[in-house]
């Protein structure tokens, strides 16, 4: 029987500007430069007549019941659009923290769509694939082809791949789940309101590590302040990264995961080792972002 495997990498928001809330539907309008980490979940698909999902791995417990898992939701969305879609049994090895601001569930769902596309001979840009991704969740479209790019709107506007160089980084999650809704509520925007602030810097396709980090410096994550009111430990994580002389430390998504960018891989690995010794209860991963 056919067995297919794919990675579901952590999605990291290098920037996240909130522009306001749309009058028509109340969704928050975002502008975000997204990168993907070497750290990932793993998803397999064994072709068969019945759609199912099993989950294992160090963070399998908080992943939730199968019926609520985005892998199954994505598969059902695609099945509704492609008559006779071949399905099968998924197995997810969950390594990424849950409710962590790094799109673990969204990346898992995108990996499920990629595996089904492979099994059924569909292109990633097939309209059924794109629509299934959008209907599954706001972050799923940008995860469908996991390469650094801009995303805008409520996640539906995905820009071209920027192919910037790999950035040595350390990811930290303090083990405190931070649901997205309370963070946006703490931001306090009403429907139709705009959020003042500097425009997002232009990110050209051809960048060196130095020029990219320089461009990221004036940008921000507008959800960082609200998230700190929900989970103050995020501030401790950021301080810990800055204490390791990271070139840039910022929160990803709505938290609680933060990232630090470092000069090279050796510096990132060494910083992660020191941080693990000082904070054994935190999830800490040296990686690359690209």
Contacts by 27-31 with C-beta closer than 8 Å and gap 24+?
27/153, 27/154, 28/154, 28/184, 28/187, 28/189, 29/152, 29/153, 29/154, 30/151, 30/152, 30/153, 30/154, 30/155, 31/150, 31/151, 31/152, 31/200
Residues 27 and 152 in one domain: yes
Beta bridge partners of 153: 30
Residue 90 binned pLDDT confidence (cut-offs 50, 70, 90): very high
For 258, other C-beta atoms within 10 Å of its C-beta total 28
| Whether residue 94 has pLDDT greater than 80 | yes
| Whether residue 68 has pLDDT greater than 80 | no
Residues 23 and 144 in one domain: yes
Q: What is the pLDDT of residue 61?
A: 79
**Which of 52-56, 65-69, 100-104, 255-259 is least confident?**
65-69
| Whether residue 65 has pLDDT greater than 70 | no
Q: What is the pLDDT of residue 2?
A: 87
| CATH number of the domain that residue 215 is part of | 3.30.70.890
Q: What is the pLDDT of residue 132?
A: 98
What separation, in Å, do the N-terminal and C-terminal C-alpha atoms of the chain show? 34
Residues 143 and 275 in one domain: no
Residues 128 and 17 in one domain: yes
Q: What angle do CA 189, 195, 196 make, to 5 degrees?
A: 155
Residues 238 and 280 in one domain: yes
Residues 186 and 62 in one domain: no
Final residue before a domain boundary, out of 158, 188, 207: 158
- Is 102 a known ligand-binding residue? yes
Residues 145 and 240 in one domain: no
**Tens of pLDDT along 172-199?**
999 999 999 999 999 999 999 999 888 8
Residues 79 and 153 in one domain: yes
- Is 67 a known ligand-binding residue? no
- Is 165 a known ligand-binding residue? no
Q: What is the pLDDT of residue 207?
A: 84
Residues 142 and 233 in one domain: no
Q: What is the pLDDT of residue 204?
A: 83
**Tens of pLDDT along 106-154?**
999 999 999 999 999 999 999 999 999 999 999 999 999 999 999 999 9
Residues 11 and 148 in one domain: yes
| Whether residue 39 has pLDDT greater than 90 | yes
| Whether residue 219 has pLDDT greater than 80 | yes
**Domain count of the fold of the chain:** 2
Structural domain boundaries, residue 101: 3-158
Final residue before a domain boundary, out of 90, 125, 158: 158
Residues 197 and 274 in one domain: yes
**Tens of pLDDT along 44-54?**
999 999 999 99
- The proportion of the chain whose per-residue pLDDT surpasses 70, expressed as a percent, equals 97
| CATH number of the domain that residue 99 is part of | 3.30.230.10
C-alpha 218/C-alpha 205 separation (Å) is: 18
The string over 130-141, giving b where at least 16 C-beta atoms fall within 10 Å of a residue's C-beta and e elsewhere, is bebbbbbbbbbb
Residues 153 and 176 in one domain: no
User: Strand 52-56 to strand 87-93: parallel, antiparallel, or no bridges (unpaired)?
Assistant: parallel
- Is 71 a known ligand-binding residue? no
Final residue before a domain boundary, out of 131, 158, 185: 158
Q: Would you name the residues annotated as active-site residues?
A: 11, 139
- The dihedrals phi and psi of 84, each to the nearest 5 degrees, come to 75, 20
**Tens of pLDDT along 16-27?**
999 999 999 999
């Amino acid at each position: 029987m056919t067995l297919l495997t794919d990675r579901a990498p952590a999605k990291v928001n290098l920037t996240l500007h909130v522009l306001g809330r749309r009058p028509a539907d109340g969704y928050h309008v975002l502008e975000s430069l997204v990168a993907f980490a070497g750290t990932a979940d793993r998803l397999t698909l064994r072709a068969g007549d019945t759609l199912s999902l099993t989950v294992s791995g160090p963070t399998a417990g908080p992943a939730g019941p199968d019926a609520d898992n985005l892998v199954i939701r994505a598969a059902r969305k695609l099945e509704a659009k492609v008559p006779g879609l071949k399905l099968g049994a998924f197995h997810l090895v969950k390594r990424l923290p849950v409710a962590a601001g790094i799109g673990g569930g969204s990346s898992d769902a995108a990996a499920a769509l990629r595996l089904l596309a492979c099994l059924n001979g569909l292109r990633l840009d097939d309209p059924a694939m794109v629509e299934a991704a959008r209907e599954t969740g706001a972050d799923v479209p940008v995860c469908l082809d996991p390469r650094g790019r801009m995303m805008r709107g409520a996640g539906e506007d995905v820009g071209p791949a920027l192919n910037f160089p790999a950035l040595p980084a350390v990811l930290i999650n303090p083990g405190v789940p931070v649901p997205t809704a309370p963070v946006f509520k703490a931001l306090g925007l009403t429907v139709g309101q705009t959020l003042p602030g500097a425009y997002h810097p232009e990110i050209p396709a051809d960048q060196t590590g130095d020029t990219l980090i320089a461009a990221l410096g004036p940008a921000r994550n507008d959800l960082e302040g609200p998230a700190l009111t929900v989970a103050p430990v995020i501030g401790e994580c950021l301080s810990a990264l800055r204490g390791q002389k990271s070139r840039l430390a910022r929160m990803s998504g709505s938290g609680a995961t933060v990232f630090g960018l470092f000069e090279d891989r050796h510096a990132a690995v060494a910083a992660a080792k020191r941080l693990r010794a000082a904070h054994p209860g935190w999830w800490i991963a040296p990686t690359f972002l690209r």
